[in-house]
Amino acid sequence: MTKKPTPEKKKTKQTQFEYDAIIIGTGPGGEGTAMELSKKDKKVAIVERYKDVGGGCTHWGTIPSKALRQSVSRLIEYNSNPLFRGHEKAKHLTFPDILQHAAAVIRKQVQLRSGFYDRNRVEHLVGEASFIDKNTLKIVKPDSSVEKVTAKKIVIATGSRPYRPDDINFNHPRIYDSDTILSLTHDPRSIIIYGAGVVGSEYASIFRGLGVKVDLINTRERLLSFLDDEMSDSLSYHLWNNGVVIRHSEQIARVETTDDSVVVYLESGKKMKADCLLWANGRTGNTADLHLENADLKADGRGQLKVNDQYQTQVPNIYAVGDVIGYPSLASAAYDQGRLAASAMIDKQSTARLIADIPTGIYTIPEISSVGKTEQELTEAKVPYEVGRAQFKHLARAQISNSLVGSLKILFHRETKEILGIHCFGENAAEIIHIGQAIMQQKNGGNTIEYFIETTFNYPTMAEAFRVAALNGLNRLF
């Protein structure tokens, strides 16, 4: 009897991909992902629709608006400094004038970030990306040629763009959003800003600092309601004190335009006229052109994607980070989200997460920065807290630099002395806040307000505000 031959085992074909990961978008989220993956020896490519990397953060959002704010802040400082009063005529700068500084900063940032990708051997693909399937992208290049690329993992880091309602004509030369305002070439004497969120409030400060008449329309009852009430009230007061007209709880009914002006009609019956309108009300995730349906993905009504705690979408090999997933919509958080998503791709068991207390920096004039809980949150949760305050006008460094406006507030638990929240209003608030944040992150009882009493600060410094606030707070205990 002949023995039957043993059947051969079928060989399973391993799918070959061109890249371990492709990242769509080169803003902070995309950069954080790319850098982490490349340092773990993964073959990585980034896709960017523009020839320069950096995304909206570098070209239209965070970097240019903060550069503009810096120029205006220095102008205000010069014109208000008693050292120059009477010797020099007050200086006047136009919006196009200060854009030159912003353009220089953008160039430096692009050069720096391009170097990161080059040194880490991350391939830069220029073009418009969209999904063919969950592992394949179509890239339409600037010359209209098409390239298909495949990857084991794909990361969506496309950011967001200003929301544009259909009934507003953004093609009119006097109507802008927060992206197109950077192309403003005339010198407006008046501007209406619709939307008093972070972007609207920052640009209200910038234009008012240039001497432009500003009407700020707030769709809510108070400015930046997510802030501690005292910080929100301080901003409202200083904008009002500087001549900004704030209209709360208002909605636009319609907009009329002429060649050189804009008339805004509000639902309350009011109407306003200005040289131009800046629409700063809402943002939308950049997903409309990705053909998500080809990868079995769907964005919500705001163009945003849902992810799990490892930044993984409902399609296991596709991840999303940054503004395209919504909260907290901060450049700093987006970079860390990218880094954490990369770690999760490499190690499915990764437990690394964003820190609980992410600092917020708002670059109005003066700045606002916060970390941790607000007074209203602690009151609602019935946490027995106490408050320590330091006013900048009492600090020697603030008196020397003539930066007298502002204060630092520390919220801490009455019994444990644990720091629960820190809120700062004034020049360099976004820098000052990190001292308190570092102490809040200490473990094993290291996070107490008493740290600021027991340590020694340089003198004179703005950081000394922490010691003053800590003494003020501890003196309230009995």
Binding residues for FAD: 48-57, 66, 158-160, 323
- Strand duo 318-320 + 146-156: pairing: parallel
Whether 81 contacts 52, CB under 8 Å:
no
Enumerate the known binding-site residues: 48-57, 66, 158-160, 195-202, 282, 323
Burial classification of residue 34, based on how many CB atoms lie within 10 Å of its CB (0-12 exposed, 13-18 middle, 19 or more buried):
buried
What are the residues facing 279 on neighbouring strands?
Answer: 177, 194
Q: What is the length of the chain?
A: 478
Terminal C-alpha separation, the chain: 100
Q: Which residues on adjacent β-strands are paired with residue 44?
A: 21
Known binding-site positions for NAD(+): 195-202, 282
Asked if residue 130 lies in contact with residue 149, where contact means CB atoms within 8 angstroms, the answer is no
Angle at 124 between CA 101 and CA 105, to 5 degrees: 10
How many Cα atoms within 13 Å fall on the side-chain side of residue 245? 10
Q: Which residues of 297-334 are buried (b: 16+ CB within 10 A; e: fewer)?
A: bebeeebbbebeebbbbeeebbbbbbbbbbeebbbebb
Q: What is the dihedral of CA 316, 317, 321, 327, to 10 degrees?
A: -10
Residue type (1 letter), 86 = G
- C-alpha dihedral sign at 276, 280, 281, 283: positive
Share in percent of the chain as helix, strand, coil (round to 5) = 30, 25, 45
